[in-house]
Amino acid sequence: ATGVFGTDGRGLAEGLDGRENVISLRTCGKALGCEGALLCGPTAMREFIVNRGRGFIFSTAPSPLMALAVGEALRIIADEPARRKRLWDLIATAERVLAPYGVAATGSQILPLVLGDAARTMHVAGAIQAAGFDVRGIRPPTVPEGTSRLRISLTLNAAVADIEALGKVIGEALQ
């Protein structure tokens, strides 16, 4: 949700501002385009993790370059709301264009097309991938039996024409 939700792109946890003892784990992949994660919370919790968390203490620290990249990505997210607006415009377009094919509107950049059968899901995913789209089939045990689905993830790399072409490819693959 980091980079997508919230007025400043701070994610869904932004809605918890003002509450006490909120702990938020934010991955640095996906929207930030980096690696690692940020654990945000009260000072006492952070100090406990730093001093007592064996997994944290004995893991390799991020490189200074990666820390700098994360900081810059967070700055861009906060300072350039037009990027977030464009993504939300793409989400609205995708929900409209892909709805006739059964793609669920989620109010998010991740759109599922539940097909049910795992084999069919993987067959359809393969056909879509062969057309040049990175749409993944998700099947058990990741999702419950009988709910296999395609996972469509929108990014700012997409254009409206790409979404329209994806709709056409999905329609053909489902036949």
Residue-level pLDDT at 62? 83
Structure tokens at 53: 């968390």
Residue 158 φ then ψ, to 5°: -85, 150
My answer on whether 105 and 159 are in the same domain is yes
Low-confidence ranges of the chain (pLDDT < 70): none
Q: Final residue of a domain: which of 57, 79, 101?
A: 79
Residue-level pLDDT at 58? 81
Residue-level pLDDT at 59? 82
pTM comes to 0.84
Residue-level pLDDT at 108? 95
My answer on whether 75 and 86 are in the same domain is no
Q: Is 2 within the bounds of a domain?
A: no
My answer on whether 50 and 71 are in the same domain is yes
Closest CA to 152 of 167, 171, 168, 174: 167
My answer on whether 87 and 46 are in the same domain is no
Residue-level pLDDT at 21? 84
My answer on whether 73 and 93 are in the same domain is no
My answer on whether 25 and 87 are in the same domain is no
Domain hosting residue 67, numbered range:
12-79
Residue-level pLDDT at 57? 77
My answer on whether 94 and 155 are in the same domain is yes
Q: Final residue of a domain: which of 22, 49, 79?
A: 79
Q: Is 7 within the bounds of a domain?
A: no
Handedness of CA 92, 29, 66, 49 (dihedral sign): positive
Separation in Å, CA 86 to CA 19, 79, 99, 158: 31, 14, 20, 10
Region of 36 (left: φ > 0; alpha: ψ -120 to 50; beta: rest) is: left
CATH number at residue 99: 3.90.1150.10
Residue-level pLDDT at 10? 86
